[in-house]
Amino acid sequence: MNPQTHPWKNWKHITKLDPDKSLSPDDLETIVGSGTDAIMISGTQNITDTNVGQLISLLKDYDIPKILEPATPEAVLDGDLVDSIFVPLVLNAGDLKWIVGKHKDWILNHKIKWEKVIPEAYIVMNPESAVAKLTKSKTDLTSDEVLAYARYAEKYLRLPIVYMEYSGTYGDPTLVKRLRDSLTEAALFYGGGIDSQVTAAEMLRYADVIVVGNVVYTDIDKFIETIP
């Protein structure tokens, strides 16, 4: 992969917007102008071509980098209006369709703009999250197992991004630090429970990029605090 296809190399903060939730035009303008490095359009539940299309359309006049992260690979839109398509696989999924099956069907049934596609290796950590339930993720992992998954993604698959997904809860900074110390090539993304300057700063000590989502919908001022 050449450097041009690593747009996140200078990023620290991504805002994840959920097509199933609504935002006022004012809030959207605040978010885009907040200093966040990119907008990721993502979500696990009730994601449709219609609501994804609407959100992309609301963002189209803004110059900020736009990433589509489809809920499942089959749901990738054509990607014309976004800069990148981040397509996850879930390393600790309990069902292999979240590692290879859905991806195979996606490739089978679509003409793919590969130059926009970035693979992400997710490790799903919160058993209560929608994504953990959907993917039947095995979350009772030792720290060493988490590190082994991450090294599998980095050293064996050579994927560019390892994504620690605590979706809906705040993660373990000690574990994120161990990942930081273990990875040498992949970028480390962290998502989950960041809702203040303190939590943002703590995870940014170890992660290359933090992904901030829910607080956008609950407290826009707190969201602004998370910008580094």
Query: Residues interacting with a copy of itself, by CB under 8 A?
Result: 1, 87, 91, 93-96, 99-100, 103-105, 107-108, 112, 114, 117, 119, 144-145, 148-149, 151-152, 155-159
**Are the beta carbons of 119 and 90 closer than 8 angstroms?**
no
* Helix or strand run (H / E) with residue 135: helix 130-135
Q: How far is the CB of 45 from a copy of itself (least distance, A)?
A: 24
**Are the beta carbons of 189 and 207 closer than 8 angstroms?**
yes
Q: How far is the CB of 92 from a copy of itself (least distance, A)?
A: 8
- Cα–Cα distance for residue pair 48/19, rounded to 1 Å: 8
Q: How many Cβ atoms are within 10 Å of 22's Cβ, its own excluded?
A: 12
DSSP bridge pairs for 16: 40
Q: How far is the CB of 80 from a copy of itself (least distance, A)?
A: 19
In the bound state with a copy of itself, the residue whose beta carbon lies nearer, of 36 and 135, is 135
In the bound state with a copy of itself, the residue whose beta carbon lies nearer, of 38 and 91, is 91
**Are the beta carbons of 194 and 180 closer than 8 angstroms?**
no
In the bound state with a copy of itself, the residue whose beta carbon lies nearer, of 95 and 172, is 95
In the bound state with a copy of itself, the residue whose beta carbon lies nearer, of 87 and 209, is 87
